[in-house]
């Protein structure tokens, strides 16, 4: 089936369903691949048009489509490379120029006491020495002692740790070292990390949390409301849960990220809170990888292995089920333990057949 010019597929003779993609100005209209008249003066800077011969895309972001003429018109400022909605609204200028008031481009921009400004010449990024940046404005803060950030000339908004900003813009020291903020020297209003503010008792305004990892408690020290950054709060059990670094530690069994309290089966907990491989039969605890330190009941530790010592009244085995020493008041007889036969009158315990102990 023969298709019309610039057509790659058609549903019937001379009726196109898809145009070739060799140029950007072809548009499908009523079965014909029409060429957008880009040579027409009205289509200067237009890269594509729709079936109504109206421009649908411009050659660059420095142009926008006019909602009246549907042609591409350039941003009002010749140094503007991106505008939207209106040619007067500039978003970006050429060669690191600054956008001023969202409408024009300038090559230089300065703000009071500012070393570096943003690309829209509205906010300061870096202030001069002895000035602090507050919401993009540089304020002199040299006359306020212990001030970290000013929100006006010599008016402090944030003080250094241990000091609080008063409404008059000065910084005062809290008399209570556990306070992070106070409304006067002796009246605490917030506490340092690990302590919770107790508004009901001014004599003890900061309560230490009794829960490991908790940095903020409720009115009591036993109800956690916030955990430190390395743990998450379990509100059901009221605990801070750490993700253990040791993969052989049981889930939720870490005091912090590096100290385990219970290991997976086949591993033993070391004195350092790490999990050691303990693949030794009948061993309950290893002090190094596969080096047993203590055995199950009825087993005894011999040369770092656990041997059976299931002999009544035996205190020590030399080999499996061969006793080498009995508990007090028993004699070792052929590897077993026999009670003393006390031949001393009125003696309740003998340490040998005829010697009363």
pLDDT at 317 over 80: yes
Q: What is the pLDDT of residue 108?
A: 83
- What residues form DSSP beta bridges with 330? 339
The pLDDT tens digits for 182-208 are 777 678 888 877 787 877 777 888 878
Q: Which residue has the higher pLDDT, 352 or 153?
A: 153
- What's the pLDDT band for 348 if we cut at 50, 70, 90? low
pLDDT at 113 over 70: yes
Give the residue-averaged pLDDT of 61-68.
78
- What's the pLDDT band for 350 if we cut at 50, 70, 90? low
| DSSP collapsed to 3 states, 181-219 | EEEECCEEEEECCCEEECCCCCCCCEEECCCCCEEEECC
Q: Which residue has the higher pLDDT, 31 or 139?
A: 139
What is the gyration radius of the CA atoms in the chain, in angstroms?
43
- What's the pLDDT band for 24 if we cut at 50, 70, 90? low
Q: What is the pLDDT of residue 22?
A: 56
CB 83 within 8 A of CB 76: yes
């Amino acid at each position: 089936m023969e298709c019309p010019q610039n057509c790659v597929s058609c549903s019937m003779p001379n009726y196109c369903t898809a145009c070739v993609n060799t140029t950007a100005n072809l548009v499908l209209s009523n079965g014909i691949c029409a060429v957008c008249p880009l040579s027409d003066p009205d289509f200067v800077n237009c890269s594509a048009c729709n079936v109504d011969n109206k421009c649908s895309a411009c050659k660059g972001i420095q142009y926008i489509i006019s909602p009246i003429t549907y042609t591409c018109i350039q941003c009002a400022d010749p140094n503007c490379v991106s505008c939207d909605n209106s040619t007067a609204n500039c978003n970006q200028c050429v060669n690191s120029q600054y956008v001023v008031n969202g409408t024009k481009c300038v090559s230089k921009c300065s703000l009071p006491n500012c070393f570096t400004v943003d690309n829209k010449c509205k906010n300061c990024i870096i202030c001069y020495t002895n000035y602090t940046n507050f919401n993009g404005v540089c304020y002199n803060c040299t006359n306020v002692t212990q001030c970290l950030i000013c929100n006006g000339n010599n008016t402090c908004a944030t003080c250094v740790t241990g000091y609080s900003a008063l409404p008059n813009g000065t910084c005062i020291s809290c008399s209570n070292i556990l306070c992070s903020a106070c409304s006067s020297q002796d009246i605490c209003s917030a506490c340092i990390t690990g302590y919770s503010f107790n508004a009901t008792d001014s004599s003890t305004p900061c309560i230490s949390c009794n829960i490991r990892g908790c940095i903020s408690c409720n009115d009591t020290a036993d109800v956690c409301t916030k955990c430190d950054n390395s743990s998450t709060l379990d509100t059901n059990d009221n605990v801070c849960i750490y993700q253990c670094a040791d993969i052989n530690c049981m889930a939720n069994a870490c005091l912090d990220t590096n100290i385990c309290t219970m290991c997976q089966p086949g591993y033993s907990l070391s004195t350092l809170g790490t999990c050691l491989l303990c693949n030794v039969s009948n061993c309950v605890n290893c002090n190094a990888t596969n080096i047993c330190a203590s055995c199950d009941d009825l087993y005894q530790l011999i040369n770092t292995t656990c041997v059976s010592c299931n002999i009544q009244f035996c205190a020590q085995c030399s080999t499996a089920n061969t006793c080498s020493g009995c508990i007090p008041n028993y004699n070792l007889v052929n590897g077993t333990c026999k009670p003393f036969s006390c031949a001393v009158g009125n003696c309740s315990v003998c340490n040998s057949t005829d010697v009363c102990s």
